[in-house]
Structure 1
Amino acid sequence: MAICIFVFVAVLGVCLLSTILLRWNEMRYVRKDLPPGSMGWPVFGETTEFLKQGPSFIKNQSARFGSLFKTHILGCPTIISMDPEMNRYILMNEAKGFVPGYPQSMLDILGTYNIAAVHGSAHKNMRGAVLALLSPAMIRDQHLPKIDDFMRKHLSNWDNKVIDIQQKTKEMALLSSLKQIAGIESGSMCKEFMPEFFKLVLGTISLPINLPSTNYRGGVQARQSIVSMLRQLIEERRACQEIKKDMLGYYMSSEENRYKMSDEEIIDQIITILYSGYETISTTSMMAVKYLHDHPRVLQELRKEHLALRESKGPEDPINWNDYKSMNFTRAVILETSRLATIVNGVLRKTTKEMELNGYVIPEGWRIYVYTRETNYDSNLYPDPYSFNPWRWLNKIMDAQKYLFIFGGGSRQCPGKELGIAEISTFLHYFVTRYRWEEIGGEELVKFPRVEAPKGLHIKISALPTEERK
């Protein structure tokens, strides 16, 4: 009997304490001019619900509080905006009090000098350096030949194999980027770099609590290892006084009329470029393979475009700039894959001063999550929005419509957009002209906070018969 009373009192005490903590945390953020919403637990807020439930959590909160509501996620008080017009205003008006507002975990792991975090003149200087590296002329003359050479080799021995296309596209995105950015090809450094980089990626979306066995601790430690490797590479290049024609060589070279970066800035830029390209390229490539398998008519049209291109070339002739620019349906497949899979759910901004939005006052230093996911499924913008229909993108107006946030918006639009599309296009070219494939296992796909197959996405590959290559 005494034990039962003790258990009852303990449970009652826990419930009472939980109620007090929740109420106390809500009271901390009570202001009549704040948007409605809920703040969850002290410190943790509603991070667990946000990461586990994702779109369902945001939809439920929006149904309760409207398209602009407050919450507390990833260690920060945050306003979530689901209104397309409001989202466009925020993204297009950085100079009016909005700066990047990425969570502390991402800032710690990508570095304080990364282009996504800096603003003002620092952002202008660094973005200028990145854009010079990713101009159409640079893609045509420097990057595309390297991408083509890499893809030929990477996809050369997949015949009659069962592969995890998720793992293969992850390796593809990272190794291809390492070759372009720092001239690093397969070898001991790649083997050492890859597992550390994968841990770094996991740590970027986590609570910034530095405890053993947490993704955050793993990400911070992985960053330290990667910084050490990149610093050693920079020192080796300086010692041999060799100037290589890659992104690292460009950053290290001294030219007039160009912003000169410190080693710390160079390292943070390389990590950020690797991170940004890796997520987008690997996931879009994997999901394109998935959607093409599930939609034979789309695959037939895509293969037709690429086989026609190969007819005008010798077996060993590489893809050139004119070939890439002619891949209209391929580009449509990539855009539709990005939209339907929602590779990017939204972007974070932070207020630099107290601001008014839709009649509410947002305090200085609060994050604003510009949540663009639901825009991708707006039937007014995309008829039959849940169908995979690349043909919708062949209307050029679609690519320029003002609510397209697949690649960000405003002065923060992804500078590597064209390079990323070129890389995925080249991958698809060699994949669909060499192989056909079948899914095995029927693995589950998760689409939040990242698009991934937790157990992998396994496919059985066979060579495309000769008669189908004509």
Structure 2
Amino acid sequence: MAAFFLLLSLVPVVLVLGIFALTRRSKGCRNLPPGSLGWPIVGETLEFLSGKPEKFVFDRMNKYSPEVFKTKILGEETAVICGPSGHKFLFSNEQKLFTAFRPHSMQKIFRPHRAGAQISRAAEAQISRAAEAKILKSPGFLKPEALVRYLGKMDSITQQHLQTHWEGKDTVNAFPLTKTLTLTLACRFFLGADDPQRIARLVTRFDDITLGMHSIPLNFPGTIFHKANKAAVAIRRELRKIIQEKKAAMATGPPMQDILSHMIVATDPSGKYKPEAEIADNIMGLLVAGYSTVATTMTFFMKYVGERPDIYDKILAEQLEVSASKKSGEVLDWDEIQKMKYSWNVIYEVMRLTPPLQGTFREALTDFTYAGYNIPKGWKIYWTVSTTNKKPEFFGEAERFEPSRYDDANAFPPFTFVPFGGGPRMCPGKEYARLAILTFVHNVVKRFKWELVLPHEQIIGDMMPAPQKGLPIRLQPH
């Protein structure tokens, strides 16, 4: 009992020392942005995750500064740079002032074999970025000319998915079905695999990972991070099986045109082939990127268009015009995708009102000054599209779903709408996402009209939004 009271008496001392250390550290660099670093150790992480990142940012922009404020989230002292000037500053200084940064939860989930290595986080980010750039850019997998070859397969997979899971149903839950579709497309594109049973096993695992990517990395049963780690282990095990199957097929068959096949035969700068564990980590990251955000955009397309029959009618008219010159059984081609201008404006408006990813992180490579404040080297920079998307000074009737606002490319100032980022770090999968989403739009509106079963369904999630009940919709076949 005496020991218990001794420990209890030490708690205030520890807190005071923590606050003193935090204050001393922050005073080491003068003229920091306004804001609060929150509690010792945890900072403001709980408010960031539990109160939704968008609200967290807006509240502090109003309280401290609309340009930049400081905080401490996910274990890191962070400057949140806001508004169109902030977007421009970040995009213009990639690799000069900033490098990519993954929160500790993502580092541990995606690269556990490096977790104990003696390597700086900046070096880790640069290695990761260089590896991904080499994978995606050297053979041009995500360039339009390469994606054109995949478009027909994407169309046929989407048609088959709708026939299997949607047709003949009075109601469906759109969110889980779009996740199944996007993972099927990603597995076919990245892995060259399309086993439905294998994909079904992976869907829930990927859901667990997306929830755990921005979480407090406490690895014990019952935590979101623990569940994400278990999912990553299971996915990594499945991917290694696929890698071994792919190697065997490549040894006896013709060359294969998918990203996994390229990764297997690609070498590192020393001329060695990459270990299977590293290939599995890289491909898992690519699959996550090609899965959750695309599925979220498709789902909220169904939500917003289900609320607006007038917009549905315009999309249908455009898609029927695209189909008018096609023969029965012909799949979509590149020129037809380019004709879907109104449909893509609708998707833009979906992403403006409900960004599929709230934000990303960078790390400061050097001390720098922004908006009159000093940002120290090593601090993290949080970037989010939400600081401009709903501002009435940029978007008239900002809360209204209005695709026609994109008819004029100069209708709003530069750097106010940047759903795919910008500069050297612009999303490399933009064209892939555009093809996958528009192929889905083309096929779903030609088959069905729909209405929302739960018009006021709650939207949950922190970094990635999700309808609480999976967005049930009532289908009306044409």
Number of the residue aligned with 1:458: 472
Counterpart Cα distance in 2 of 1:269 and 1:261:
14
Opposite residue 23 of structure 2, the aligned amino acid is M
Counterpart Cα distance in 2 of 1:43 and 1:16:
15
Q: CA deviation at 1:78?
A: 1.1
1:416 lines up with 2:424 in the alignment:
no
Counterpart Cα distance in 2 of 1:254 and 1:52:
42
Opposite residue 198 of structure 2, the aligned amino acid is M
Asked if 2 retains the 8 angstrom alpha-carbon contact of 1:436 and 1:461, the reply is: yes
Asked if 2 retains the 8 angstrom alpha-carbon contact of 1:101 and 1:117, the reply is: no
- 342, 345, 362: which is aligned to 2:355? 342
Deviation track 1:97-147 (CA, whole Å, cap 9, x = no partner) reads 21112211112223389xx99655863563243131011111111x21121
Deviation track 1:211-265 (CA, whole Å, cap 9, x = no partner) reads 22211112122212212221222122223314322221232345999x9862444
Q: CA deviation at 1:428?
A: 0.8
Asked if 2 retains the 8 angstrom alpha-carbon contact of 1:441 and 1:458, the reply is: yes
Number of the residue aligned with 1:102: 102
1:376 lines up with 2:389 in the alignment:
yes
Q: CA deviation at 1:300?
A: 0.7
**Secondary structure in 2 aligned to 1:77?**
strand
Number of the residue aligned with 1:252: 264
Number of the residue aligned with 1:155: 162
1:212 lines up with 2:221 in the alignment:
yes
Asked if 2 retains the 8 angstrom alpha-carbon contact of 1:25 and 1:40, the reply is: no
Moved more, 52-61 or 410-419: 52-61
Number of the residue aligned with 1:190: 199
User: Structure 1's 199 and 52: CA in aligned 2 closer, same or farther, altered over 3 A?
Assistant: same
Counterpart Cα distance in 1 of 2:273 and 2:432:
23
Number of the residue aligned with 1:320: 333
Q: CA deviation at 1:448?
A: 3.6
User: Structure 1's 432 and 385: CA in aligned 2 closer, same or farther, altered over 3 A?
Assistant: same
Moved more, 371-380 or 43-52: 371-380
Opposite residue 339 of structure 2, the aligned amino acid is S
Number of the residue aligned with 2:45: 47
Counterpart Cα distance in 1 of 2:123 and 2:429:
16
Opposite residue 110 of structure 2, the aligned amino acid is L
Deviation track 1:2-21 (CA, whole Å, cap 9, x = no partner) reads xxxxxxx9xx9999789847
Asked if 2 retains the 8 angstrom alpha-carbon contact of 1:350 and 1:366, the reply is: yes
Counterpart Cα distance in 1 of 2:306 and 2:209:
31
Counterpart Cα distance in 1 of 2:206 and 2:368:
38
Q: CA deviation at 1:82?
A: 1.4
- 14, 17, 26: which is aligned to 1:30? 26
Counterpart Cα distance in 1 of 2:346 and 2:416:
19
Counterpart Cα distance in 2 of 1:25 and 1:459:
54
Q: Which residues of 2 match residues 262-301 of structure 1 at below 5 A?
A: 262=274, 263-301=276-314
Fraction of identical pairs, as percent? 28
Asked if 2 retains the 8 angstrom alpha-carbon contact of 1:160 and 1:463, the reply is: no
Q: CA deviation at 1:383?
A: 2.1
Opposite residue 239 of structure 2, the aligned amino acid is L
The TM-score with structure 1 as length reference comes to: 0.87
Number of the residue aligned with 1:407: 420
Opposite residue 127 of structure 1, the aligned amino acid is A
Number of the residue aligned with 2:60: 61
Opposite residue 199 of structure 1, the aligned amino acid is D
Opposite residue 38 of structure 1, the aligned amino acid is S
**Secondary structure in 1 aligned to 2:26?**
coil
Asked if 1 retains the 8 angstrom alpha-carbon contact of 2:297 and 2:347, the reply is: yes
Deviation track 1:300-344 (CA, whole Å, cap 9, x = no partner) reads 100000111222223321111111111111111111111111223
Counterpart Cα distance in 2 of 1:366 and 1:135:
34
Asked if 2 retains the 8 angstrom alpha-carbon contact of 1:148 and 1:318, the reply is: yes
Asked if 1 retains the 8 angstrom alpha-carbon contact of 2:79 and 2:380, the reply is: yes
Asked if 2 retains the 8 angstrom alpha-carbon contact of 1:25 and 1:39, the reply is: no
Q: CA deviation at 1:26?
A: 4.8
The TM-score with structure 2 as length reference comes to: 0.86
Counterpart Cα distance in 1 of 2:124 and 2:313:
44
Number of the residue aligned with 2:444: 431
**Secondary structure in 2 aligned to 1:383?**
coil
Opposite residue 147 of structure 2, the aligned amino acid is I
Instruction: Count residues in correspondence.
Output: 451
Number of the residue aligned with 1:4: none
Counterpart Cα distance in 2 of 1:213 and 1:16:
29
Counterpart Cα distance in 2 of 1:460 and 1:296:
14
Number of the residue aligned with 2:183: 174
Number of the residue aligned with 2:119: none
Counterpart Cα distance in 2 of 1:311 and 1:352:
54
Asked if 2 retains the 8 angstrom alpha-carbon contact of 1:33 and 1:360, the reply is: yes
**Secondary structure in 2 aligned to 1:251?**
helix
Q: Which residues of 2 match residues 303-314 of structure 1 at below 5 A?
A: 303-314=316-327
In structure 2, list runs of 5 or more residues that go unmatched.
115-121
Asked if 1 retains the 8 angstrom alpha-carbon contact of 2:359 and 2:463, the reply is: no
1:385 lines up with 2:384 in the alignment:
no
